[in-house]
Structure 1
Amino acid sequence: MKQADSLMPVLDVFDKMESEVRSYCRSFKTVFTKASNAWLWDRSGNGYIDFFAGAGALNYGHNNPRIRTKLIDYLLQDGVTHSLDMATEAKESFLLRFHDIILKPRGLEYKVMFPGPTGTNAVESALKIARKVTGRTNVICFTNAFHGMSLGSLAATGNSFKRKGAGVALGGTTFLPYDKYFGPLIDTTVMLERLLQDPGSGIDHPAAIMLETLQGEGGLNEASAKWLRQVEAICREHAILLIVDDVQMGCGRTGTFFSFEEAGIRPDIVCLSKSIGGYGLPMALTLIKPEHDVWNPGEHNGTFRGNNLGFVAATEALEFWRTTELERAVTAKSHTITRFLHRMAAAYPKAIAEVRGKGLIQGLVFRDASQASALSKAAFERGVILETSGPRDEVAKLMPPLTIEEDVLAKGLERIEAALQSLLGVGERTTPGKASV
């Protein structure tokens, strides 16, 4: 790695002019200039393997050439860029392809709502329509959930640090324990069902239950298929809508397009954003079962719900799902990561408590939470970008683009292993290690 950046105040402009709320640039102290698939380069020419992928917004990598060509062609043809919710060819093409490639083959029937450009827009609209449909206000959500940073979605978010930033009381939600919150032997749906059945529980009958099938920001906690099916059954029994927040886990992050496919559940409402935009472009969807689509025209709107560049990029990105090729590639690469992480956990049992995650979002849980951030720093020094998650930032999270090349993935894992050796010391290993994956 070149050292030029360390010899100058590379972030001086950002330190002086940008709000103190900035976060990622404090961890990754350089100025990036270009990117391609799983690589980022800074202005000194240093290359970094991206195991962060825009927090899940870049499942198809940086500057995917297939998608980029479609965007350039659209712009050069003076295609409509901004349209509110007016009808455009770009939106029409996206809706048709989404139906043909994603919904129809899975036997799913949803109306597609464009709530605005971000995941929290999708969540806010989901909460509103659930309350409108049922006439009830309470929403049950779960420990360590993360659903967004606007007030409604923040009220459904468990992280105390993020909740404190609201500045006002957050209400309308009830938190219950997520799957395995008390350990693998306790089925928390028993508590959920008992509280809903008991008129003395103090829980207002909810409009909806909202969940992530795998809690990304909450620490890579994965719900079992059995738990998800039981939650769905409880929803049906008690006339409660089921909302799945698939903002980060959707679009193939866990292996299948929707993260809930393997469980076989049929949510009433699904929230998508991040990689649905295909190219890192702002875009979000709220999928609503037709019988629940009771909006009045304009009852929920937003200036940027008609991002036609997002439609164009998303339409081309859906082509990755016309066959099973990408899904099979994700499965193979996820096995590579799983084997690597378990080898690291076995090598450093005093430091690493467990391996969590699924697909191309997996990580190491550190007994000393500070070591996850230390690993992120050590990895960055070796040319890998990875972030942390969990209520104490105790999980070092690997989240590369789904399209990462096998050799680049292997190189990134080798660098992470070197970072772990530097951080924890080769002498602490309990089993011999090697750089290969």
Structure 2
Amino acid sequence: MTPSVLTDSSRAVGLNVIAERESEVRAYVRDFPTVFKRAEGCMVWDENGKAYIDFFSGAGALNYGHNHPEMKKAIITYLLDDGMVHSLDLATEAKIDFIKTFDELILKPRHLHYKIMFPGPTGTNAVEAALKLARKVTGRSTVAAFTHGFHGMTLGALAVTANRRKRRGASRPLEGSISLPYDGFMGEDVDTLDYIERLFADEGSGIDVPAAVIVETVQGEGGLHAARLEWLRGLREITRRHGILLIVDDIQAGSGRTGPFFSFEAAEIEPDMVTLSKSLGGYGLPFALVLLHPDLDQFLPGEHNGTFRGNNLAMVAATTALKQYWKDGAFSEEVLKKGHVLRDRLQAIVDAANVSAQVRGRGMMQGIAFEPHGFAEAVSKEAFVRGLIAETSGPENEVIKLLPPLIIDDETLDDGLERLEDAIQTVAQSF
């Protein structure tokens, strides 16, 4: 047998194990059908040695790339020193170091005075904690969310998620939420804030004033819709005027993905609560926070907890990431510049493509929305063949979504975009 046959056979065996034993709910392995073996920086390799440029970044959990050397070193040192790995919410040196670093490098320079809540280590748990707290503090039960929004897969977070297919997975009514039109949802000529203001102000609107409004500044799973900065400012004013808490879900758009550490910084607003996860942990390790104004810190001890909220390895990696990348504004400026390059290249690709399409997103969280049904999914498949990993998003998977690691070099970014353009041109020939 030739070596290629041997490697193809090995891959088939590995994928067969997945197909035979893993639940049908698996998803990404169907989109990217190979067995991965190694990862470094912006690259991953499968067991056959084929290299792929990663424009997926663990769905936004790997802003600093795979196996970041400084974070890896810090984690290994911590383990070799027998540092405490699991600690619930006990005080550890790793936790104290993280809190101090986060306060000094992230909160204080932005004049933010948030308290820090450690929920369970996932984004959906952070959302659940924020929703519970908003209801407790206000005494109201309803939370308002937005069209195309995504906030998690547990029941509370799913209730404020818009995607019908994901909501159907609950197999029960999802209660306690209302849906509001996101910026641009009703067309460019309609300011949805007028509708939202009237809905909250009019006693005959048919809804109760909600406990909170939860919003993403850029809708990662919903199709990369990016709210205008003035719209975000207007939303903040409306919520303040009606005594409604504003929760910004920065789980995917935060940690530098749009340039600044928080995606809402450019709008110059201050939410009442912020949820963080994904790349907060730096190394791809589970970690989540809820940031909240001190007057909202009203949970009783243990009223919201979780076995794995004390992930010290993630705190070690997160602290290392903060010290390396967020000690000043240089990294943020670098991400913003790359975002401009990405925007220009994507627009050029759209202009050259013989297909109806639109560039969406902000910073290093951008993509292309294609009008023909199935086009984006076909592009993702063609890109994978060419050694580029990029997923789709949107309710109809109509957007090819690009989340390159923020540390990507110009040459690799250009290489990945060339592969993407080639994939788009190939797909366009059959549509």
TM range (shorter): over 0.9
Equivalent residue of 1:15, what SS? helix
Question: How many residue pairs were aligned?
Answer: 425
Report which stretch shifted further, 317-326 or 291-300: 317-326
**Structure-2 residue corresponding to 1:277:** 281
For 1:132 and 1:424, locate their aligned partners in 2 and report how far apart those are by CA, in whole Å.
Answer: 52
Amino acid at match of 1:279: Y
- Give the superposition deviation at 1:329: 1.6
From 257, 282, 288, the equivalent of 2:261 is 257
1:326 and 2:318 matched: no
From 317, 324, 332, the equivalent of 2:321 is: 317
1:395 partner letter: V
Q: Which amino acid aligns with 2:175?
A: G
- Residues 416-431 of structure 1: pairs in structure 2 closer than 5 A: 416-425=420-429
Residues 90-135 of structure 1: CA distance to partner in whole angstroms, max 9, x if unpaired?
0000000000000000000100000011000000000000001100
Give the deviation of 1:353 after TM superposition: 2.1
CA RMSD, aligned part only?
1.3
Structure 1 SS opposite 2:190: coil
Shift of 1:420: 1.6
Q: Structure 1's 370 and 245: CA in aligned 2 closer, same or farther, altered over 3 A?
A: same
The answer as to 2:207 corresponding to 1:207 is no
- Of the three residues 120, 124, 129, the one matched with 2:128 is 124
* Whole-angstrom CA distance in 2 between matches of 1:6 and 1:371: 28
Q: Does 1:180 align with 2:210?
A: no
Q: Residue type matched to 2:331 in 1? A: L
**Alpha carbons of structure 1 residues 335 and 192: separation in structure 2 relative to 1, 3 Å:** same
Q: CA deviation at 1:417?
A: 1.5
Structure 1 residues 95, 174: closer, same or farther in 2, change over 3 A?
same
Give the letter for the 1:75 counterpart: L
| Equivalent of residue 341 in structure 1, options 343, 346, 358 | 346
In the TM superposition, residue 300 of structure 1 has moved relative to its aligned partner by: 0.4
Q: Secondary structure at the match of 2:207?
A: coil
Identity of aligned residues (%): 55
Unmatched 5+ residue regions in structure 1?
429-437
Partner of 2:68: 64
Q: Does 1:30 align with 2:34?
A: yes
What CA distance in whole angstroms lies between the structure 2 residues aligned with 1:396 and 1:241?
A: 33
In the TM superposition, what is the alpha-carbon distance from 1:378 to its structure 2 partner? Answer: 0.2
Distance in structure 2 (CA, Å) of the matches to 1:157 and 1:351: 30
Look up the match of 2:201.
197
Identify the match of residue 83 of structure 1 among 71, 81, 87: 87
Q: For residue 3 of structure 1, report the CA deviation from its aligned partner.
A: 7.7
Cα shift at 1:421: 2.1
Deviation at 1:425, TM superposition (A): 3.3
CA deviations on 1:158-195 (whole Å, 9 max, x unpaired) are 00000000011101000010001011221101101101
Q: What's the offset of the Cα at 1:325?
A: 2.1
The alignment status of 1:406 with 2:410, answered yes or no, reads yes
The structural deviation recorded for 1:5 is 5.0
TM-score, reference length from structure 1: 0.95
Conserved? CA contact 1:146–1:156, under 8 Å: yes
Report the TM-score, using the length of structure 2 for normalisation. 0.97
Q: Which residue identity does 2:238 align to in structure 1? A: I
Amino acid at match of 2:99: L
Deviation at 1:393, TM superposition (A): 0.4
- How far, CA to CA, are the matches of 2:355 and 2:8 in structure 1? 30
Please state whether the residue corresponding to 1:287 is helix, strand or coil. strand
Deviations 1:365-391 (A, max 9, x none): 111130101000000000000000001
SS in 1 for 2:267: coil
Q: In structure 2, what residue type is equivalent to 1:97?
A: T
Map 1:34-53 onto structure 2 (within 5 A).
34-53=38-57
Which amino acid counterpart does residue 249 of structure 1 have in structure 2? A
Match of 1:297 in 2: 301
Query: Partner of 1:233 in structure 2?
Result: 237
Q: Deviation digits for residues 31-89 of structure 1, max 9, x if unmatched? A: 00110010000110000000000000000000000111100100000000000001111
User: What is the distance in 1 between the residues matched to 2:422 and 2:195?
Assistant: 44
Aligned to 1:431: none
